[in-house]
Amino acid sequence: MPSPAAAPMPALALSGVTVRFGTFTANDRIDFSVGSGEVHALLGENGAGKTTLMRVVAGLLKPQDGTIAINGTPVTLNSPLDAAALGIGMVHQHFMLVPPLSVAQNAALGLPRVGRFFPDMRRVRADLAEISERYGLEVDPDAIVGDLTVAGQQRVEIVKALYRGARIFVLDEPTAVLAPKEVEGLFRVLRMLAEAGTAMVFISHKLNEVMEISNRVSVLRQGKLVATRATAETSGAELARLMIGSDFELPHVSDTVPQDAPVRLEARSLAYRDERGVPRLDGLDLSVRRGEIVGIAGVDGNGQQELAEVLTGLRQPQSGTLMIDGTDVTGSDPARRIGLGLAHVPEDRQRTGIVDLSIAENAVLETIDRPPASRRGILSHSAIRAFAETLIADYDVRCTGPRQPITTLSGGNQQKVILGRALSRDPGVIVAVQPTRGLDVGATAFVHRQLLEQRRRGAAIVLVSTELDEVLALSDRVLVIYAGRIVGELPRNQIALDRLSALMTGQAAA
Amino acid sequence: MSAEPVSTPAAPARPTGRFGDAGRRVAASIIAVLLALACGAILIALWGVNPVSAYGALLNGAFGNLNSIAETLLRAIPLTCTGLAVAFAFRAGTFNIGAEGQLMFGGAAAAAVGLALPHLPPLLLIPSMMGSAMIAGALWSLLPGVLKLRFGANELITTIMLNYVAIHFISFLLYGPMQESAGYLAQTDRLDRATTLPQLIERTRLHIGFLIVLGVVALSHFALWHTSWGYKLRVVGLNARVALNSGMAVTALTVSAFLVSGALAGLAGYMEVVGVQRRMIEGLSPGFGYTGIIVALLGGTSPLGVLAAAILFAALQVGATTMETAEGVPSTLATIIQGLVVLFVIGRGTIDLALRRRGSA
Ligand SMILES: Nc1ncnc2c1ncn2[C@@H]1O[C@H](COP(=O)(O)OP(=O)(O)OP(=O)(O)O)[C@@H](O)[C@H]1O
Ligand SMILES: [Mg+2]
């Protein structure tokens, strides 16, 4: 294998690629290349145009201008099939899998060589098993995709692309949904792929990941390529500066909550079993005071999502009680809790947070029954639009206007709409789950400031996050969740990292 | 020139409402109809008739003179009602295949009230007949609604099954307690003149029920796009989980959609009883409830689109008779053309995709 620097022809080269949506330019004359065996990281704020550029590479978008060359040969990509045939595989920010089908069926879907009418599934299964063996990717060809964890589905996307013969890999924020351990696993796979000569584009908002895995870094800002650097010759600080054009600092909690502040959210002995009878919450206690942020730290899948959904009323616990500002809300529906001032920033924003309508219509989901959005049941479209315009301005949502369908926003900007919607109600209790997932550094700092502002205002905040840095910076107290129980509580100024990780992995008793 | 996805991502192709790329969708619907007519032309030619003159006869039969226009619009009345009925259910994310049965109950209720209270002044009688038809349709649609919410029974199946229950139950009524005094046919006595709706156009059968239906279309449009109820209904239909998380009363909204849907189908029954048959008969509906499904889909489940689609289907049905008598094209061929419209409407997504691709080329 030639070393990446010496490769004469880049595996993939874009030059002058321009994509416009109406009058908005999402990619402005971008030159970008990646050699075989190279990992080229792509950085940029939310809405900078990273996903758009990669959709061009994957044949999902036709640029208005510019050329694409594979191994030096100019190509035209009319569809994802063209791209796949040229060895381009994409692991999307939002996975493109069919949940009710098995892994093997997903991999074979629409692939002519498997046989159009009577696909040879046995061979597909054998091939997949061989691939997952070779790259140490744990994937069961017969598993139903919908049953897999997020990390599992991501492995399926990778195996699927490999099975289809991908030599150029595009990974759009693959680590956003992974726990730190899983990130390590992914990086092991990427290194192996690089050794085998695969060219890779890696998108992430996390600078440390970029510094660790990439050979080169390119930075996009508002649709323009502002810099390309060899990773070894740059630093996280420089990249951050290039990305947002200025220095910034992540905020953190500094003052303390008075111990006599009233308790706004109180949960006692919550127990929840899922549809299959598996206990997810096992006698969980939680209380949050006025003006307090309680961080819930833990490895993903230890009951965080269930806890959030029980608190917000999306699920009903089998036992336990729940009070908001002294009112018993056990068993009540989300409507009642929202009425009492609860706000939810859901983890799974695609499924729980947004609906396929315009930004404006999404901005008023929770407030549609009140003035100014509606009066006596009649909508005021002008008031809705005005509200959305304020939200867009306040939360710096990068879009073409309130009428833009929310599904066409970049992931981070969708999150800003959800946050703005929840926080603009001045909620008394906030349940925020992974509120900065998929957000760029600047937006993350913004969200942190917003949460601190809500705390100052007197809200009680439950912050569920797998990002330890985030939990540590913002929380007054950190509770560690493991197997559906709170196994430890650490006040802000007494957090020892080794103790924390021992608790998180269930290796220490409280 | 704006960039558009070359191929649709995994997102389901659902109506996204007034903010979507509605223009292209309308174009796709029109192209679907034209393609169906083109395929129909081939069939007509195979039958040995010149398609141009056959379609000429069809157009003439549907719109050629005042009377044919009146007949077409008269036929569009029940189709608009059932189309709206299905559209409201669709918007809320449910399927109402039961408009046929709800229509029958509506018709029976209207006739029953009209026969029981013939001496009421028309200003009271007409609204109470219309109201009871809508209530009867709504109540009959409540059944699958409750079965769905209480037991998770799929409304696709229950509504279609309940159609048979409705049709046979009405037959029982028409052979039994409600049968005409002469006692021969499965029909009620003829309704009193006082119950009929005034004519809209002199010397035709078109009555002011058409204006009422236009009002209902306008009202439906307003309800869907300008009330918080309609907004919430659409959110429930697009993603019930989001609706729940946003504090919407998902169950109540679903029930309300069933009720409105059934009431609109019941209204269709009223219109047929009062405006066409002047009595309740067995077989009041030649499948208006089912055609309503196609009308709703072709109309993009928007009230204005439903009205346009209903007039189109009415024209196809009314014009088919002329095509048969004037050109010898069997009216079953017109039925086949309607079927082709269904097929192309279902495949409309492909046309939409092709239009997008041209847009980006
Ligand atoms: N189909 C579309 N119509 C209109 N605008 C679009 C469309 N798709 C993307 N955009 C806009 O293009 C810009 C770039 O979006 P893109 O998804 O590429 O951002 P990104 O860099 O991937 O951001 P993130 O880090 O949040 O994922 C955004 O402002 C987005 O709103
Ligand atoms: Mg993106």
Is the pLDDT at A494 greater than 90? The verdict is no
Instruction: Tell me the domains of chain A and their CATH numbers.
Output: 12-244 (3.40.50.300), 249-341+426-510 (3.40.50.300), 355-424 (no CATH)
Q: Which residues contact A172 (CB under 8 A, 6 or more apart)?
A: A50, A51, A54, A90, A91, A92, A93, A203
pLDDT at A490: 84
Whether residue A282 has pLDDT greater than 80? yes
B221 touches chain A (CB under 8 A): no
Q: Is the CB of A44 under 6 A from ligand 1?
A: yes
Q: B8, B14, B224, B245: which to substitute to probe chain A, counting the most A Cβ within 10 Å? A: B245
Per the DSSP assignment, residues forming a β-bridge with A288 are A265
Instruction: Note whether B16 contacts A59, CB cutoff 8 Å.
Output: no
B42-to-B324, B343, B351 alpha-carbon distances in Å: 16, 16, 20
Pocket test residue of A21, A175, A244 for ligand 1, highest count of atoms within 8 A of CB? A21
pLDDT for residue B2 is more than 50? no
Q: Which amino acid type is present at position A116? A: R
3-state helix/strand/coil string of chain B = CCCCECCCCCCCCCCCCCCCCHHHHHHHHHHHHHHHHHHHHHHHHHCCCCHHHHHHHHHHHHHCCHHHHHHHHHHHHHHHHHHHHHHHHHHCCCCCCCHHHHHHHHHHHHHHHHHHCCCCCHHHHHHHHHHHHHHHHHHHHHHHHHHHHHHCCCHHHHHHHHHHHHHHHHHHHHHCCCCCCCCCCCECCCCCHHHCCCECCCCCCCECHHHHHHHHHHHHHHHHHHEHHHHHHHHHHHCHHHHHHCCCCHHHHHHHHHHHHHHHHHHHHHHHHHHHHCCCECCCCCCHHHHHHHHHHHCCCCHHHHHHHHHHHHHHHHHHHHHHHHHCCCHHHHHHHHHHHHHHHHCHHHHHHHHHHHHHC
Q: Does A344 have pLDDT greater than 60?
A: yes
Tokens of A113: 């060589």
The CB of A89 under 6 Å from ligand 1? The reply is no
Q: How many angstroms does the Cα of residue A13 sit away from the middle of ligand 1? A: 21
Q: What are phi and psi for residue B216, nearest 5 degrees?
A: -65, -40
- Nearest chain B residue (CA) to A404: B19
| Mean per-residue pLDDT, A46-71 | 91
Task: Please tell me the predicted confidence (pLDDT) of residue B16.
Answer: 36
Q: Do A62 and B361 touch (CB under 8 A)?
A: yes
B123 and A CB contact within 8 Å: no
- Please tell me which residue, A250 or A333, carries the higher pLDDT value: A333
Contacts of A337 in chain B (CB under 8 A): 247
pLDDT at A261 over 60: yes
Read off the pLDDT of each residue in A14-30 and give the average, rounded to a whole number: 90
Q: What interhelical angle do B66-91 and B303-327 show, nearest 10?
A: 140
Q: How far is A240 from chain B (nearest CA, A)?
A: 30
Task: Indicate the pLDDT class of residue A138, thresholds 50, 70 and 90.
Answer: confident
Q: Confidence class of residue A241 from pLDDT cuts 50, 70 and 90?
A: confident
Q: Which residues of A touch B227 (CB under 8 A)?
A: 374, 377-379
Q: Which residues contact A176 (CB under 8 A, 6 or more apart)?
A: A93, A204, A205, A437, A438
* pLDDT: which is higher, B244 or A239: B244
Percent with pLDDT over 90 in chain A: 42
Neighbour count for residue B208 (Cβ, 10 Å): 13
At A248, the pLDDT band (50, 70, 90 cuts) reads low
Confidence bin at B215 (pLDDT 50/70/90): very high
Lowest mean pLDDT among A312-321, B87-96, B126-135, B350-359: B350-359
pLDDT beyond 70 at B70: yes
Under 8 Å CB pairs connecting chains A and B tally to 115
CA B136, distance to chain mean position in Å, is 17
| Atom number, ligand 1, closest to the C-alpha of residue A409 | 31
User: What confidence category does residue A154 fall into, taking pLDDT thresholds of 50, 70 and 90?
Assistant: confident
Write down the pLDDT at residue A246.
59
Q: What is the pLDDT of residue A349?
A: 81
Residue A355 pLDDT greater than 80, yes or no: yes
Does residue B18 register a pLDDT over 80? Answer: no
Alpha-carbon distance B214 to B355, whole Å? 32
Q: Which residue of B has its CA nearest to A352?
A: B242
Q: How far apart are CA A378 and CA A359, in angstroms?
A: 19
Mean pLDDT throughout B276-292? 91
Does pLDDT of B26 surpass 60? yes
Instruction: State the Cα–Cα distance between residues A459 and A427, nearest whole angstrom.
Output: 7
What pLDDT sits at residue B3? 41
Report the CATH fold assignment for B28-347.
ABC transporter involved in vitamin B12 uptake, BtuC (1.10.3470)
Radius of gyration of the CA atoms of chain A, in A? 24
Every domain of chain B and the residues it spans: 28-347
**pLDDT tens figures, B46-65:** 988 899 999 999 999 999 99
Instruction: Choose the closest CB to B245 out of A55, A78, A352.
Output: A352
Q: How confident is the model at residue A32 (pLDDT cuts 50, 70, 90)?
A: very high
**Which residues in chain B are contacts of A338 at CB distance < 8 A?**
246-247
- CB atoms A405 and B19 under 8 Å: yes
What single string gives the DSSP state of each residue in A322-379? EEETTEE-TT--HHHHHHTTEEEE-S-IIIII--SSBHHHHHTTTTTTSTTTEETTEE
Inter-axis angle of helices B288-298 and B99-116, nearest 10? 120
Token pair recorded at residue A444: 């993350």
For B75-102, the pLDDT digits (tens) are 999 999 999 999 999 999 998 999 999 9
Give the mean model confidence (pLDDT) for residues A412-432.
Answer: 92
Whether residue B245 and residue A358 make contact (CB cut-off 8 A), yes or no, is no
- Residue A77: count other Cβ atoms within 10 Å of its Cβ: 23
Residue B313 CA to residue B339 CA, distance in Å, equals 11
Average pLDDT over residues A479-501: 82
The predicted structure's pLDDT at residue A250: 63
* Chain B residues touching residue A19 (CB < 8 angstroms): 3
Question: Residues A444-466: what's their mean pLDDT?
Answer: 90
Q: What is the pLDDT of residue B11?
A: 32
- What's the mean pLDDT when you consider all of chain A? 86
For B305-339, what is each residue's pLDDT tens digit?
A: 999 999 999 999 999 888 888 888 888 888 888 88
Shortest-distance Cα residue to atom 31 of ligand 1: A409
Q: What is the pLDDT of residue B359?
A: 52
pLDDT band at A247 (very low <50, low <70, confident <90, very high): low
Nearest to A409 by CA among A354, A348, A364: A354
3-state helix/strand/coil string of A454-507: HHHHCCEEEEECCCHHHHHHHCCEEEEEECCEEEEEEEHHHCCHHHHHHHHCCC
pLDDT of A1 strictly over 50 = no
Among A449, A433, A416, smallest CA distance to A343 is for A433
Q: What are phi and psi for residue B263, nearest 5 degrees?
A: -65, -40
Average pLDDT, chain B: 87
Tell me what the mean pLDDT of segment A30-41 comes to: 94
Of the pLDDT bands very low, low, confident and very high (cuts 50, 70, 90), residue A160 is confident
Q: What is the pLDDT of residue B13?
A: 30
Averaged pLDDT, A427-444: 87
B4 pLDDT higher than 50: no
A114-125 per-position pLDDT tens digit? 666 777 788 888
Region A141-168: mean pLDDT is 85
Give the pLDDT mean for B110-115.
Answer: 92
**Mean pLDDT, rounded, for A95-122:** 79
- Sign of the C-alpha dihedral computed for residues A60, A65, A71 and A76 taken in this order: positive
Has residue A94 got a pLDDT over 90?
A: no
Residues 6+ apart with CB under 8 A from B105: B136, B137, B139, B140, B166, B170, B266, B269
pLDDT given for residue A31 in this prediction: 94
ipTM over 0.90: no
CB burial readout B98-132, b (16+ within 10 A) else e: bbbbbbbbbbbbbbbbbbeeeebeeeebbeebbbb
